Amino acid sequence: MTFRKILTQHIAEDDCHTLSFYQRNGGYSQAQKSLKEDQPDDLIELVKAANLRGRGGAGFPTGVKWSFVPKSSDKPKYLVVNADESEPGTFKDRVIMEKNPHLLLEGILICCKAVNIQTAYIYIRGEFVFATQRLQQAIDEAYEAGILGNDCLGSGLSIDVTVHRGAGAYICGEETGMLTSLEGDRGQPKLKPPFPAIEGVFGCPTVVNNVETLANLPYILEIGAEAYCAIGPEKSPGPKLFCVSGHVENPGTFELPMGIPLRKLIDEHAGGVWKGRKLKAVIPGGSSAHVLTADECDVAMDIESLTAAGTMLGSAGIIVMDDSTCMVDALVNLMRFYHHESCGQCTPCREGTGWLEKIVHRIAHGDGRMEDLDLVLDVCDRMVGKTICALADAAAFPAQSFVTKFQDDFVAAIQNGGSPAWKKRHPSAVGGTASHG
């Protein structure tokens, strides 16, 4: 079976984001039918059978997540769509929201039907001004056309969708951080349990799903679970958006079947490593994933294969680094990000992210000590698995894998008085003068 693009099929067309375009191409027909005819439980079973896995980063089975929401509850239930897209290297939800917003809305309707939800929020990162406008236009059109609001698509169901802009914080992409922010508080994750499905936004049962996850729903309804499972590996199937950035000739977002070989993605779709240089490293799933060396890049881009390779599919943000890259400088950049974005409530993350940045920064700037390499790894060990949310792990993973897999770069920076770029800017600096400790 040849692969058909589902999420981005029409994005080259001028008016692809409009309701009329979407409907001309069969849009809303799945929701229309489903809202009227389907039983919620059947929908949940269908999504389970399709093995739809969350596209936000954790890859949790979507149907299973929905089934955790209590069937009978005297509280309202909510859907909160995670459109925070802040994982470095990730720009896929943005494409859907800017170019195909009605697909997301149709997915929202199907999810609301399956879980008996009447209110959905789309939590979108503040920097996405254009995407917010596009989304809002689409929502307005949908209300106008009777697709949202009372009696959606003539089904008798009432479903409201509201766009909520964040202020631009990575931690507001973590689901409970997002919910806290949506509630109007300082965005910081909550202790789990209780999980959002039981006690989420405003203390009510809440489904949290990523934009791309929901955008897959109409297609699953269209072709059925069996056909969907046939796209890519059975355990994590489906069309998938891969964001390729970094040292490639043709960076961008590519819709391909799950399980596409990483090398094929880079070489054929992204035009290969730029300037004829050689591949040095690839971060395969957003900056929080363990980095792969060039030798490790013969791997399929799906959840299971990447987990087996000791890394993760994550948000499918693929950052390609050529052989001119100094891994020390690259890591400084990443550590600065996590240090800046840690919400600061858990001790290991609050202190660990700052400490890591300071050490790596010191190495890059010529004050490194050989014992710093072990220290970085030990600090990482002391962070992983010891915090409220996974940001601490997300900061530690790149630090661990950069230092172990590209040890030579770090040793060179320590011995030569800093990273090559630092040396170039500070030619007279004398390295190895660290007199600490």
Partner 1 sequence: MAENQTNDGTVAMTSWQLNGQEVENPTGMTIMEAAKEHGIEIPCFCYHPGLSIAGNCRICMVESNRSRKPVISCSEKIADGLEIETESELAVSSRNSVMEFQLINHPLDCPVCDKAGECTLQDHSYEHGPDRSRFVEDKNIRHTKELGPNISIWGNRCIVCTRCIRFCDEISGTSELCIVERGDRSVVDVFPEIPIDNQLAGNTVDICPVGALISHDFKYEARVWNMDRKDSVCGGCSRGCNVEVETLDGFVKRLMPRENLEVNDWWMCDEGRYGWRHLYADDRLSQATRDGTALADDSATAALEQLLSESGPVAFLIDPFLTCEEMHLVQGLAASRPGSSVGGWLPEDGIAANFPSGFKISAAKYPNRAGAEHIFGDQVFGNDATELQKALVSSDFNTVVAFCGGHLSSGPGESWAKALSSTPTSIIFSVKSGPWLEGASLVLPATAPIEKDGTWINEDGRLQRTRSCWNPGTEPFSVELVRLQTLQNALGIRGRSLSAAGIFRELAANNDSFAGHNHSDLGSPGLLLSERPAGIAMDGGSE
| Phi and psi torsions of 137, nearest 5° | -55, -45
**How near is the Cβ of 171 to ligand SF4 at its closest, in Å?**
5
Q: Is 392 in the site for ligand SF4 (CB under 6 A)?
A: yes
Question: H or E stretch including 57?
Answer: none
Q: Is 187 in the site for ligand FMN (CB under 6 A)?
A: no
C-alpha to C-alpha distance for 281 and 369, rounded to whole angstroms: 24
Sheet with 119-124: strands ordered across: 160-165, 119-124, 78-83, 206-210
Task: Give strand pairing partners of 235.
Answer: none
Identify the residue among 208, 220, 241, 297 touching ligand FMN (CB under 6 A).
Answer: 208
Specify the residue, 229 or 335, whose C-beta has the smaller distance to ligand SF4: 335
- Maximum separation of any 2 CA atoms in the chain, in Å: 75
Look up residue 41 and give its amino acid: D
| Phi and psi torsions of 78, nearest 5° | -130, 150
Q: Is 284 exposed, middle or buried (0-12, 13-18, 19+ CB in 10 A)?
A: buried
Residues 6+ apart with CB under 8 A from 369: 414, 434, 436, 437
Binding mask 336-355 for ligand SF4 (x = CB under 6 A): ------xxxxx--xx-----
**How near is the Cβ of 303 to ligand FMN at its closest, in Å?**
11
The closest alpha carbon to 428, from 413, 415, 418, 414, belongs to 418
283 backbone φψ class: left, alpha, beta (φ>0; ψ -120 to 50): beta
Identify the residue among 131, 265, 266, 391 touching ligand FMN (CB under 6 A).
Answer: 391
Q: Is 302 in the site for ligand FMN (CB under 6 A)?
A: no
**How near is the Cβ of 175 to ligand FMN at its closest, in Å?**
4
Specify the residue, 230 or 370, whose C-beta has the smaller distance to partner 1: 370
**How near is the Cβ of 250 to ligand SF4 at its closest, in Å?**
34
C-alpha to C-alpha distance for 283 and 87, rounded to whole angstroms: 12
| Phi and psi torsions of 246, nearest 5° | 100, -145
Q: Is 55 in the site for ligand FMN (CB under 6 A)?
A: yes
Q: Is 400 in the site for ligand FMN (CB under 6 A)?
A: no
**How near is the Cβ of 81 to partner 1 at its closest, in Å?**
24
Which residue's Cβ has the minimum distance to ligand SF4? 349
Cα–Cα separations (whole angstroms), residue 280 to 284, 320, 322, 418, 437? 13, 8, 5, 20, 34
Residues 364-393 that bind partner 1 (CB under 8 A): 375, 381-383, 385-388
Identify the residue among 175, 329, 357, 409 touching ligand FMN (CB under 6 A).
Answer: 175
**Part of the chain binding ligand FMN (CB under 6 A), chosen from 20-28, 56-64, 258-266, 344-352:** 56-64
**Part of the chain binding ligand FMN (CB under 6 A), chosen from 48-56, 179-187, 241-249, 425-433:** 48-56
Specify the residue, 87 or 329, whose C-beta has the smaller distance to ligand FMN: 87
Cα–Cα separations (whole angstroms), residue 287 to 7, 227, 320, 388, 398? 24, 32, 11, 20, 7
Q: Is residue 298 a contact partner of residue 262, using CB atoms and an 8 Å limit?
A: yes
At residue 91, the 3 state secondary structure works out as coil
Q: Is 213 in the site for ligand FMN (CB under 6 A)?
A: yes
Specify the residue, 156 or 344, whose C-beta has the smaller distance to ligand SF4: 344
Look up residue 437 and give its amino acid: G
**Part of the chain binding ligand SF4 (CB under 6 A), chosen from 223-231, 295-303, 386-394, 404-412:** 386-394
**How near is the Cβ of 279 to ligand FMN at its closest, in Å?**
27
Q: Is 341 in the site for partner 1 (CB under 8 A)?
A: yes
Residues 83-112 that bind ligand FMN (CB under 6 A): 84-87
**How near is the Cβ of 179 to partner 1 at its closest, in Å?**
16
C-alpha to C-alpha distance for 420 and 179, rounded to whole angstroms: 43
User: Any alpha helices (H) in 10-99, and if so which ranges?
Assistant: 19-24, 29-37, 40-49, 62-67, 93-99
Task: List the structure tokens of 64.
Answer: 């299973």
Identify the residue among 39, 162, 347, 407 touching partner 1 (CB under 8 A).
Answer: 347
Q: Is 86 in the site for ligand SF4 (CB under 6 A)?
A: no
Contact residues: partner 1, CB under 8 A: 169, 171, 186, 191, 339-348, 350-355, 358-359, 362, 375, 381-383, 385-388, 434, 436-437
Contact residues: ligand FMN, CB under 6 A: 54-58, 60, 62, 82, 84-87, 170-171, 173-175, 208-210, 213, 389-391, 394
